[in-house]
Amino acid sequence: MLFQPAIIALLLAAGLAVLMLAGAAPFAVQVIRHWDIGSGSERQLALERRTYLFSTLLAFVLVAQLAALLLFVFNADRLAAMFVGAMCAVGTLNVNAWGFPSLLMQTAVFFLAAMWLALNHVDTLARDYPLVRIKYALLLLLLPVLATNFWLELKYFLGLKANVITSCCGSLFSGEGKTIAAEASGMGPGPALVLFYAGLALAIGAALWHWRRASRLSGYATLAASAAGFVASIVGVLSFVSLYIYEHPHHHCPFCILKPEYGYQGYALYVPLFLATAAGLGAGAIQPFARIASLRAVLPRVSARLAGLAAAGYTAFAALATWFVLHSNLILIEH
């Protein structure tokens, strides 16, 4: 299955990311050991020059990883036609044991990359690059994550055998199963509705609070509320939003909504949700450095802007989900 254009592209992007990060690692170690902004030594000058290169390289690699998540899901959905028993991305991801770990890893890379990019952005705004050491230390931590991601993807794509009979989303996302996904799907529409809107209200509220009044406390609140809002949103999609979109009381799949039969409504839901969560996490991730002198002026501005983006994203997501529910012909809750 390796000769699929989208698979080649994904492996290319993941491989390039690992290569570039591995190439940057020795430099990262150098920066961590020898960086001294006050010094005018030749080594310091060389380091300062090189940070431009590596910051640009890494920003490029990580932006590519953001796009790769979309391509990964898109591709999984499209490949479903190739496997017996697969109706959507779930079937493709279930062909071997590496599919779902690979997707989760790609999602983790997405959020970690977003946080690193936020940190990098703030750092370039300050005169004295106060976060350089932290940035490159985090980079060294990011390298194994990206390497694992590449390894999982390779394992997954190499193991895609067309003769495997895979299972369809109906069996994975049903209320009777023992998995977390099944638990979430099996939740009654009433409590799920409350959890969904409460989680989103919390996320929007915290983000708006931070947007109006950027303090460290509200920043951390945005981080926590974004994470909670993300989980609540996914549970909500599993337990009732998808049902309304399919107009079917037992079809809980979060991937079938990506299909053209449902007008690609899933992309309209997931893109704002993921962007909002990434922005919210980014706003929180830069908070520990708010006290640094050179960042005191710029950091609140950046994080407030990120929080504004998060609030807008969650609002768009909530509005769309509500609209899908109201326009559906399915009645789950009688009133």
Partner 1 sequence: MRPWLEKQLHLIDFTLASLARRKTKNVGLLLAYTLIVFVLASLSLFTHALRSEASYVLAGSPEVILQRMVAGRHDLIPPGYLDKIGRIRGVQKKEGRLWGYYYDPVVNANYTFMARPASEVADGTIMVGSALARERGLAPNNTISFRSYAGKLFGFTVAAVLSPDSELLSADLVLLSESDFRRFFEYPEGHYTDIALSVANPQEVRTVAAKLSAALPDSRPILREEVLRTYQSLFDWREGIVLTVLAGAILAFAILAWEKASGLSAEERREIGILKAIGWETGDVIRMKVWEGLVISLTAFLLGGIAAYVHVFHFGAAVFAPVLKGWSVLYPRFTLVPAVDGLQIATLFFFTVVPYTAAVLVPIWRAAITDPDAVMRA
Identify residues 25-54 at the interface with partner 1 (CB under 8 A).
49, 52-53
> What minimum distance in Å lies between the beta carbon of 166 and partner 1?
13
Tokens of 222: 């945005």
Q: Which is nearer to partner 1, 224 or 271 (CB)?
A: 271
Q: Decide if residue 12 touches partner 1 (CB under 8 A).
A: yes
With contacts defined by CB under 8 A, how many residues of the chain interact with partner 1? Answer: 32
Residue 150 Cα distances to 6, 12, 105, 156, 229, angstroms: 15, 10, 9, 10, 28
Q: What is the DSSP string of 252-318?
A: --SSGGGSGGGTTHHHHHHHHHHHHHHHHHHHHHTGGGTTSGGGTTHHHHHHHHHHHHHHHHHHHHH
**By the rule CB under 8 A, 3 interacts with partner 1:** yes
User: Max alpha carbon distance in the chain (Å)?
Assistant: 75
Among 36, 56, 188, 248, binds partner 1 (CB under 8 A): 56
84 vs 198 by CB, closer to partner 1: 84
Residues in the chain: 335
Instruction: Name residues contacting partner 1, limited to 304-333 (CB under 8 A).
Output: 305
Measured from the CB of residue 251, what is the shortest distance to partner 1 in angstroms? Answer: 13
Stretch in the footprint of partner 1 (CB under 8 A) among 1-9, 136-144, 247-255, 284-292:
1-9
57 sits near partner 1 (criterion: CB under 8 A): yes
Least separation in angstroms between CB 151 and partner 1: 20
Closest CA to 310 of 205, 214, 194: 205
67 binds partner 1 (CB under 8 A): yes
Q: Under 8 Å CB-to-CB from 130, ≥6 apart: which residues? A: 123, 289, 292, 293, 294, 295
Segment contacting partner 1 (CB under 8 A): 29-37, 64-72, 130-138, 216-224? 64-72
Angle between helices 189-212 and 216-236 (to 10 degrees): 150
Q: Report if residue 60 touches partner 1, rule: CB under 8 A.
A: yes
Q: Is residue 177 left, alpha or beta, with left meaning phi > 0 and alpha meaning psi from -120 to 50?
A: beta
Count Cα neighbours of 306 within 13 Å in the Cβ-side half-sphere: 31
Tokens of 297: 């002026």
Minimum CB distance to partner 1, residue 56 (Å)? 6
- By CB under 8 A, what part of segment 114-153 binds partner 1? 124
Any contact of residue 6 with partner 1 (CB under 8 A)? yes
Measured CA to CA in angstroms, residue 120 lies from 135, 232, 309 at distances of 7, 29, 18
Q: What residues numbered 75-104 form the site for partner 1, per CB under 8 A?
A: 75, 78, 81-82, 84
CA atoms within 13 A on the CB side of 79: 26
Q: From the CB of 112, what's the least distance to partner 1, in Å?
A: 20
9 binds partner 1 (CB under 8 A): yes
**Residues binding partner 1 (CB under 8 A):** 2-6, 8-10, 12-13, 16, 20, 49, 52-53, 56-57, 60, 64, 67-68, 70-71, 74-75, 78, 81-82, 84, 124, 162, 305
